[in-house]
Structure 1
Amino acid sequence: MFGPPSPLIENYLRKAGFWHVANIGWGCKLDSKLISAFIERWRPETHTFHLLYGVVCYDLLGAILDNIYGGQIEMGWLRDTFLEPGDDSTEVERIRYARAYIIEMI
């Protein structure tokens, strides 16, 4: 992920309804054991997690992207193409960066 959202794109993220989503989890410590447990229970053929209490479905967008890209989505080009805007950036550059930021969040 790009990192915490730049204040220069806050208004664009708010307009798109992604400001709160962009700020979820910053400063939180990831639990590697929990992540490993989810990875072990993931079934790519059905896009579901098989858990003790039942099956949890994967979101539709994730399933579509998984099918299109075979689960190998490389987002490095997004970071290389849309650099974080500076104070001297144009409105168009900020809007493009905000859109790329949203795409990577999704």
Structure 2
Amino acid sequence: MPEPHPLIIPILEEVGFSGVAKLIHLKVDHALITALVEIWRPKTHTFHFPTGECTITLEDVALQLGLRVDGLPVIGPTLYDWEEMCSTYLGIMPVKGESLIGSMIKLKWLRENMLELPEEPSQEQLDAHCRSYILGLIGGVLMPDKTGNKVHLMYLSLLINLRRTRRYSWGSACLAMLYREMCRATNVSSKTMGGCASLLQSWA
């Protein structure tokens, strides 16, 4: 994701995603991530170091990403008219089969088509731009899948009311996905890994 527009920075801070936005500059060290996956044990969800076991905790997530680790679960409906949802809440209309694949939207298209803000935007325009930006952070930094190029629009339903968005436990969802992806990555046939590699690297 690009740098956030200065006008949405206060909203990102209010919603609790300003810490995640700072991770866009972190270059992932693939050798370090691979080394950590090799000592990850799926049965215990811990890293086995010569000196003992340790793991990433919810406290680590809260301290490093500034995300809430208690509150409402990050779940939502998966059956919507996604074109209408995007048009209403993002201010942009994806094309089925091209930028909109099932219930997922391509991150590259989202970045290139975010609603542009005029010099004096309305609150509705600010919120729409901010939703697009946060959706990009979720799919590109916080909870990317192993393809790293799409984000599920289920998350958009949790961004409709940005004042309520902070009430969700984004930190625990991020950690749960990272655990799952590391367990999958221990499979010899797995060549890619999703999850928040930035969190894993900064923790290390």
Shared fold by TM > 0.5?
Answer: yes
Q: State the partner residue of 2:56.
A: 58
Q: Which amino acid aligns with 1:87?
A: E
CA separation in 1, counterparts of 2:42 and 2:11? 34
Aligned-pair identity in percent equals 30
Q: State the partner residue of 1:71.
A: none
Q: Note closer, same or farther for the CA distance 1:98–1:11 as it changes in structure 2 (3 Å cut).
A: farther
Structure 1, 31-40 or 51-60: larger mean CA deviation: 51-60
- State the secondary structure of the residue aligned to 1:13: helix
Q: Deviations over 1:60-79 (max 9, x none)?
A: 59xxx9xxxxxxxxxx9254
Distance apart, 1:99 and its partner CA: 4.0
Q: Which amino acid aligns with 2:56?
A: Y
Q: 2:47 aligns with which of 49, 53, 60?
A: 49
User: How many residues align structurally?
Assistant: 89
Q: Note closer, same or farther for the CA distance 1:93–1:24 as it changes in structure 2 (3 Å cut).
A: same
Distance apart, 1:47 and its partner CA: 1.8
Contact 1:42 1:48 in 2 (8 A): yes
Q: Mapping of 1:86-101 within 5 angstroms?
A: 86-88=115-117, 90-101=125-136
Structure 1, 48-57 or 16-25: larger mean CA deviation: 16-25
Structure 1: runs of 5+ lacking an equivalent: 66-75
Q: Which amino acid aligns with 1:83?
A: L
For the aligned residue pairs, the C-alpha RMSD in angstroms reads 3.5
Q: State the partner residue of 1:83.
A: 110
CA separation in 1, counterparts of 2:55 and 2:11? 31
Q: State the partner residue of 1:70.
A: none
Q: 2:37 aligns with which of 36, 39, 52?
A: 39
CA separation in 1, counterparts of 2:53 and 2:8? 38
Q: Deviations over 1:4-44 (max 9, x none)?
A: 44315322212123323321361x44333211110101122
Q: Which amino acid aligns with 1:49?
A: F
